[in-house]
């Protein structure tokens, strides 16, 4: 299974996402923001970082990159897409996911090992988890506070599209403790925490994040 990892100018966790794909048993394919070509990959990860420095609204410039035209088009056709942190912001800016991510309530960047509850296992990226399972993965962001209007939030909850929720404390002020959401179909997931930093006991807080990558590999087989 070939999973593309897009590098935008200012992407930082592309190397980590590619490593996570490999550790899960997939083949990682490097994709370049300036190329409107996904090279036939089966799924795409938009990694974390500070694309274009986040000088404008996070993700607001990257959504216009040539590669995103392809991502949006193929996501509509059901291709699995995972946006992590800055990638989540890009997905919101691209209107593949509802809501927005704004500055943390405490106005500071925070890097911590975060407890997260997997709320929905019906997405392409979470099928290997058990609903309600609590995992520890890295959270690191300055603008990770998820917001949307009440109606949208109610709809997300009602349709089972809240993918993950913070537990043991809300680190950034996200409404309803939301750490990740999906689109209606469940192929597009945006996640503020970084599962790619929790795939190796040696260099992260355990391997709880690997499930996101093994999930998509299974969904592609089936």
Partner 1 sequence: MTSGLDTVAVATQDPEREQPWAELGLKAEEYQRIREILGRRPTSAELAMYSVMWSEHCSYKSSKVHLKQFGELPQETPVGKMLAGIGENAGVIDIGQGYAVTFKVESHNHPSYVEPYQGAATGVGGIVRDILAMGARPVAVMDPLRFGPLDAPDTHRVLPGIVAGVGGYGNCLGLPNIGGEAVFDPTYLGNPLVNALCVGVLRHEDLHLAKASGVGNQVILYGARTGGDGIGGVSVLASETFTESAGGGTGPAKRPSVQVGDPFMEKLLIECTLELFAAGLVAGIQDLGGAGLSCATSELASAGDGGMHVDLDLVPLRDSSLSPEEILMSESQERMMAVVEPGDVEAFLAICAKWEVDATVVGEVTDGDHLQVDWHGERVVDVPPRSVAHDGPTYERPFARPQSQDTLQADAAEALPRPDTGEELRATLLQLLGSPNLCDKSWITDQYDRYVQGNTVLAQPHDSGLVRVDEHTGLGVAVSTDCNGRYARLDPYAGAQLALAESYRNVATSGARPLAVSDCLNFGSPEDPAVMWQFAEACRGLKDACLELGVPVTGGNVSLYNQTGETAILPTPVVAVLGVIDDVTWRVRSGFVEPGETVVLLGETREELSGSEWAHVVHDHLGGRPPVVDLPAEQALAGLLADAVRDGLLTSAHDLSEGGLAQALAESVIRHGVGAAVTLTDDDPFVSLFSESSARALVTLAPQQLPAFLEAARTAGVPATELGTTIGDTLEVSGWFSIGVEELQATWSATLPAALG
Catalytic annotation present for 194: yes
**By CB under 8 A, residue 60 contacts partner 1:** no
| Residue choice 63, 117, 161, 194 for contact with partner 1 (CB under 8 A) | 194
| Residue choice 1, 2, 15, 176 for contact with partner 1 (CB under 8 A) | 15
**Among 187, 195, 92, 211, which residue's Cα sits nearest to residue 145?**
92
The span from the CA of 53 to the CA of 33, in Å, is 15
Decide whether 73 or 109 has the Cβ nearer to partner 1: 109
**By CB under 8 A, residue 9 contacts partner 1:** yes
The span from the CA of 38 to the CA of 170, in Å, is 36
Q: What's the Cα-to-Cα distance from 156 to each of 129, 164, 176, 180, rounded to whole Å?
A: 20, 12, 11, 11
Active-site annotation holder among 58, 85, 92, 145: 85
**By CB under 8 A, residue 63 contacts partner 1:** no
Binding mask 127-166 for partner 1 (x = CB under 8 A): -----------x-x-x------------------------
**By CB under 8 A, residue 119 contacts partner 1:** no
For helices 14-24 and 210-221, give the axis angle rounded to 10 degrees: 60
The span from the CA of 3 to the CA of 188, in Å, is 14
Positions annotated as catalytic residues are 85, 194, 196
């Amino acid at each position: 299974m070939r999973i593309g990892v897009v590098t935008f100018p200012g992407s930082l966790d592309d190397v980590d996402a590619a490593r996570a794909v490999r550790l899960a048993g997939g083949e990682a394919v490097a994709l370049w923001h300036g190329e409107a070509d996904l090279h036939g990959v089966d799924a795409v990860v938009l990694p974390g970082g500070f694309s274009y420095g986040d000088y404008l609204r996070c993700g607001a410039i990257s959504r216009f990159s040539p590669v995103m035209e392809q991502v949006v088009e193929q996501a509509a056709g059901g291709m699995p897409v995972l946006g992590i942190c800055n990638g989540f912001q890009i997905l919101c800016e691209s209107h593949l996911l509802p809501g927005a991510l704004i500055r943390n309530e405490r106005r500071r960047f925070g890097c911590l090992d975060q407890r997260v509850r997997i709320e929905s296992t019906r997405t392409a990226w979470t099928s290997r988890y058990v609903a309600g399972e609590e995992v520890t993965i890295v959270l690191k962001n300055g603008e990770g506070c998820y917001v949307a209007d009440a109606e949208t939030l109610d709809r997300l909850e009602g349709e089972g599209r809240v993918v993950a929720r913070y537990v043991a404390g809300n680190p950034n002020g996200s409404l309803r403790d939301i750490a990740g959401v999906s689109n209606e179909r469940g192929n597009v997931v945006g996640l503020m925490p970084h599962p790619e930093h929790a795939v190796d006991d040696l260099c992260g807080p355990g391997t709880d994040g690997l499930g996101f990558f093994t999930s998509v590999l299974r969904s592609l087989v089936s």
